Structure 1
Amino acid sequence: MLALSQAGYGESLRRYRVGALLRQSNTLKWLGGGRRQPASKIRTQVIASESSLDGSQEVDDEHTKFSDEDRFYLFHGRQHTYKLLIAYEGAKYAGWQTQVGLTSHDTIQGKIEEVLTRVTGDDRKILGVMGAGRTDSGVHALGQVAHFYTTKAQSTRKLHSALNGMLPFDIRVREVSEVPPDFHARFSALNKTYHYYIHTDPVLDPFTRQYRLHCWYPLDTDKIRQAASSLVGTHDFSGFANRTRNGKKRNPMRTISRFDVIEIERGLRLEVQSSGFLYKQVRNMVGALVHVGRGMMSLDEFEAVLVHKDRSRAPTGASAIGLYLATV
C-alpha cells in the first residue's frame, strides 16, 4: 500500500468520505439505486464527518478541514470527476505545475486548463486540475496522470478529441476516463516510475540530443548498477535532495522499490520506482551515478552521501533532458 504522509493521509481520508457521501446521495449517473438526498443534508453529513477527525487518527487539521471555498465547489460545482493520461515533451515548459508569475502558456497544467475551460465552460477553480507528479522544467512525461472536475457530464470521446485538437503537438492526451468522485491523481497513486536515458556513443546523435543525456566518455555499467542497488529500500535521502522552492521542509524518508540499470542501443536507461520523491532527487541520484560510472566517485563516496545525509558530498544533478515520468 501507498505510505502516505500525515497530510496525504488526511486528504485521502477527506476525499474518501466525500466520495462515500456523494455515492450515497446518488448524484453521479453510474451509481444507480437509492434515494437522492438534498444538498443541505449532504453538507450536514460532511461537516459531521469532519468533526470525527480527532487526534486519535493523527491527522493535521489544516489538511482535513473544508474551507468555505471547498464546500461551495463540492456541493454546487464539482459533480463529475475525470482522469487524464498524458504524454508531453517538457523542453519548452517551466514544468507541470502553474506558478505565480508565469502565464498559462508556460506550464503543462496551464495549457490543459486553458483548453478545458473552453471545452467544458467551467472555470479553473471548478476544474481543479491536479497532476500525480509535479515534473520540473524541461522534464518529459510518457504517462503523467491528472484529474479534473466538471459541473456537467462530458462525453469522454469528445473531450479526448477536443483536447488533442486544441493542445500543442508537444502535449498529447493518451486517455480520458470518468472516475469515482474519491479519485485523486496524487493521493490515489501507489507508485511513480521515472526513466532516465543516457546516450553513450562517442558521437552525439542529433535526433536524440534533446531527449538523452550525452556521455561521450566510457561508463562502467557494473559499478553504476552496484551503486544504484545501494539506494533500494527505505532511507533518508537528504543527501540527494535540493531545498524546495518555498523553503518548506519535507520528510526526507523515502522508499525506493527498484532501481534498474538497463543497457539499450547506444546507451543506458535507468528506471527508478518509489511511492514519492524529494525535490530533484532523481536527477541528483543520476548525476552521482554517472560520476561513479566515470570513475570520478568511488562506491564508498557514493554511499557516504546517503549515510551522512550531506548534499555537499554529491555532485551536481543530471540535466532534465533525459528524465521522463514514465508511469504512475
Structure 2
Amino acid sequence: MPRYRAIISYDGTNFFGWQVQPGKRTVQYEMEKVVNQMAKNPAEHIRVQGSGRTDTGVHALGQVVHFDLPFDIEAESVRKGLSSMLPFDIGISQVERVSTTFHAQYSAHTKTYRYRLSVTEFRDPFKRNYTGHWYRRLDYDKMALAIPDYLGEHDWLSFAAAGFQAKTTVRTVTRAVIEDHRDEGEIVFEFTGTGFLYNQIRIMVGVLLEIGMGTRPVDDIPRLLAAKDRQQARLTAPASGLYLKSVDY
C-alpha cells in the first residue's frame, strides 16, 4: 500500500486535542474519517498517524501525518480530495508520496512550538482562542535573560504535567527564543527540541511569566531542572496560545 505524508493545519479551539477519544471530536478522528472515505471504506480501518499529540485547544500550523491508501493516486489529487471533505477548521497544505519506512512520529528529528501571549490590559475577544492573555506588568528583559537556560539536554520532570506517559523525561531543547511584538500587543516564545512532554511548553512559558512578574528569580530555571519536582514549577500558560509550528525530518 502506498504511503502519503501530509502537512496539516488546524484551529484547535473546538477539538479535544489530536488523539482519538471515544465520544469526543478530535483532529485524528476527523482525518481518519475522510481518509477512509477516500479509500471507499476499506475492510480494515486506515489509521492516520501524527507526529505527536496536541492537547485540547492547542493549534497546529504544520502538523505532519502519514497514512496508507489501498490504491496508488497522485499526491495532489489526494490533497484536493481530502480538502474537499474536511471540516473548515482543518486544512491540508501539502501531500507527498513517501517510502513505507517513513513514520510521522518516529522519523521526526525536532519539533518547533510557538506560543503567542497577548499582553494588553484590554482582553481582545477576537484573540481569546488564539493567544494566552496576561494583563499584569511583565519585565521583557528578565524573560529574555532567562530563556537561554532552557537550552541543552535536561531531565524535564519539573516541567511535566501529571499523567504523562513518556518512558523518559530527558529531552533536548536546541532553540529557545522570545520575540518582542509589544507594538502589536503580543510577546511570542518559540522552542525547538527533540520532543516535549505533556504540557511542557505551557509550563516553560508559565515559569518565564513568573520571572517576568518578579515572583521568581531570573536564574531559577537551572534550579527547577535540578529539582525534578513538578510542584516547583507552579504556573501553566493557557492552551489557546500554543501552536505546533513545524516538524523537521
User: Fold conserved (TM > 0.5)?
Assistant: yes
Partners of 1:224 and 1:169 lie apart in 2 by 37
Is 1:219 matched with 2:138? yes
Match of 1:298 in 2: 217
Instruction: Look up the match of 2:3.
Output: 81
Aligned to 2:87: 168
Counterpart residue type for residue 223 of structure 1: K
The corresponding residue for 1:234 is 153
Which blocks of at least 5 consecutive residues in structure 1 are unaligned? 1-78
Instruction: String of CA shifts for 1:14-62, please: whole Å, max 9, x gaps.
Output: xxxxxxxxxxxxxxxxxxxxxxxxxxxxxxxxxxxxxxxxxxxxxxxxx
Q: What secondary structure, in the 3-state scheme, does the structure 1 residue paired with 2:177 have?
A: strand
Q: Verify the 8 A CA contact 2:153 2:170 in the aligned structure 1.
A: yes
One-letter amino acid matched to 2:13: A
Larger relative contact order (CA 8 Å, sep ≥ 6): 2
- Retained in 1: the 8 A contact 2:146–2:219? no
**Contact 1:122/1:151, CA 8 A, preserved across alignment:** no
Shift of 1:307: 1.4
2:173 corresponding residue in structure 1: 256
Aligned residue pairs, count: 245
Match of 2:20 in 1: 98
- TM-score, normalised relative to structure 2: 0.93
Q: Which amino acid aligns with 1:317?
A: T
**Residue 267 of structure 1 pairs with residue 167 of structure 2:** no
Distance 1:125 1:239, change over 3 A: farther
Aligned counterpart for 1:139 among listed residues 58, 67, 71: 58
Shift of 1:198: 0.5
Aligned 8 A contact 1:126 1:149 in 2: no
Distance 1:191 1:228, change over 3 A: same
Aligned CA distance change for structure 1 residues 249 and 113 (closer, same or farther; 3 Å) = closer
SS state at 1:147 partner: strand
Which residue of 48, 54, 67 corresponds with 1:148? 67
The structure whose Rg is larger is: 1
Q: Unpaired segments of 5 or more residues in structure 2?
A: none
Mapped to 1, the partners of 2:106 and 2:199 lie a distance apart of: 20
- Quote how far apart the aligned CAs of 1:272 are: 0.2
- Find the partner of 1:196 among 115, 123, 137: 115
Percentage of pairs with the same residue: 38
**Whole-Å Cα distance in 2 between the matches of residues 122 and 131 of structure 1?**
21
- Please identify which structure carries the higher strand content: 2
- Give the corresponding residue for 1:50: none
Q: What is the one-letter code of the residue matched to 2:111?
A: K
Distance 2:81 2:155 in 1: 44
Q: Which moved more, 1:161-170 or 1:299-308?
A: 299-308
CA contact (8 A) 2:166 2:197 kept: no
Within 2, Cα distance between the matches of 1:300 and 1:123?
A: 56
The separation in 1 between residues aligned to 2:231 and 2:9, in whole angstroms, is 34
SS of aligned partner of 2:12: coil
What amino acid maps onto 2:161 in structure 1?
N
Query: Matches of 1:244 and 1:187 in 2, distance apart?
Result: 22
- Residue 180 of structure 1 aligns with an amino acid whose one-letter code is S
Q: Which has the higher helix share?
A: 1
